[in-house]
Structure formats: C-alpha cells, structure tokens
Amino acid sequence: MTANYFMKDMVSEALHSYSDADWTNAALIAPFQNDQALLYEYADCLAVRAYLKMISLPFRLEQRPNAEFMSPTGKVPFLKLQEHLIAEFQPIVDCVAKKGLKLSANLTDAQLIDMYAHMAMIEETLKFVEMHLVWFDNATYDQVTRSRYGTVYLWPLCSILPTLKRQEIGSYLERLQWRHRTPQELLESAERVFRALSVMLGNKEFFMGTQPTELDALAFGHLYTILTTELPNMELGQSLRKYENLIDFCKKIDLEFFTKK
C-alpha cells in the first residue's frame, strides 16, 4: 500500500470527527487580507467565505500574521471548529458535507461530473498560474510579493523568508511541471479556464442553474480576486475582462452575499 492510501484513510477519519462537532464559534483563519495575503491565498480565502455564506453557516474571519504556520497543511485559509483545524477549500466543503449540508445535493451525476471538472481546472490550472505570477514574474515579485510576504517579520527575516518561500514554491511547481512554463503558456492556460467557465455559465444565473454550488464559490473567489487586484503585470486580469458574463457573475455574487445587509 502507498503512503497516499494511508493519508486518504487518515483524512477520512479526520473528516468523520469533524462531522461530529457542533458548528459553534467557527473561525476562518487567514493572513492579513489587505497587507499580507498573496493573490492565490486571498482568492482561496474569498472562495471559502463565499461558500460558507452561500450555505448559511456562521463564522468569523480571524486574520493572523502566522496563519500559514498555524495551518495543519501549511496552506491558508483554514477553519477552526472547536478543537479541529480544517485547511483549504475542498476539505472544508467535505467537512460541511459530512454534516449533511451540500450546495450541490440536487445535481444529477452528470452535472456533478461537469461541476467537479471545472473546479479541477481552477484548482489545478488557474491557481498554478496565479502562484507562478506572484512568485516568478520578476516585476510582481520585486514590487509586490517580496514586501507583502515579509511585511509581518522583522529584519532580517523580512528579507530572508521571501527568498526561502520562493525556493519552496519553485520546487513545488517544478514537481508539477509548471515551474518553467513561459508567460505565453501560462496566459494560454488561464485563457482556457476562463473560456470554459464562460461557456458553462452562458446566460445562467449560476454555473449549474438557478442556485449556487461549490463551483460558484470557488470560481468567484479566484475570478473576483484577479479582477480587483492591481499588479505590475495585469495580463491575467486583462484576459479575464474579455468575458463579460464572468464579470457580471462576480458582481452578482459580491452584491448578493457580501454587500447586501
């Protein structure tokens, strides 16, 4: 048996224990959103916030300078539910589903396959493009990433840790065969995701019809963040702005779940 087998078994057992916990005093832990979080981290946090709002589960957002090191996986955001810690979008969704709550409960098997395929494109393509942009586009790294990542640390850590993190991200993307992709290849990959999402959404209210699903939360988190983040390299945002229905979708989610009182 492989290590992955045992890891899956451990995750399954952990999720079962989470499902037994009451949903009380839930806190979403994230880096400082305005000063510290990077593009893909902010997007993931916004996606989880949108999901919890869509499914009407109360939570409070707690911003911590050391959120990354508090996380059980080293990734943010993570949910603190009593003594349990659940990190990243899909495990949080799985935790909630174990409690009998699921936005996509009424979808057919074919619809679920389609939904998960589009979610995979966001998680396994668009997110890698975002990571590559913030860490390996030199202008973005020099003018934004290095200072944001190091902002909560005193000298010399504020200078040393961004360099170490860049090496860590580089090794991670190298393993996934994303590290040495050209800017044009990265943009083309993102464009394919935007095009697929735009086609799937069409003129519908939400991706799967008249009610939001997990895909709507995940897509909103990443698309809205790309649209509203100013970076030295704005090619990713410019590519997304060609799809008016995706822009209108982001405006709708923002109004319905974040702006309305």
Residue 85's H or E segment, with its range, is: strand 84-87
Note whether 195 and 205 are within 8 A (CB). Answer: no
What is the average pLDDT across 4-22? 45
pLDDT at 10: 39
Query: What average pLDDT does the structure give for the chain?
Result: 92
What is the average pLDDT across 102-115? 97
Note whether 186 and 193 are within 8 A (CB). Answer: no
**Predicted TM-score of the model (pTM):** 0.92
Half-sphere exposure of 86 (CA within 13 A, CB side): 28
pLDDT at 27: 97
pLDDT band at 24 (very low <50, low <70, confident <90, very high): confident
Instruction: Count how many residues are written for the chain.
Output: 261
Residue 9 has pLDDT above 50, yes or no: no
Q: How does pLDDT run across 185-225, given as a tens digit for each residue?
A: 999 999 999 999 999 999 999 999 999 999 999 999 999 99
pLDDT at 19: 52
Q: Which domains does the chain have, with CATH numbers?
A: 9-99 (3.40.30.10), 109-259 (1.20.1050)
Tell me the Ramachandran region of residue 209: left when phi exceeds 0, alpha when psi lies from -120 to 50, beta otherwise.
left
Q: Please, is 252 exposed, middle or buried when counting C-beta atoms within 10 Å of its C-beta (0-12, 13-18, 19+)?
A: middle
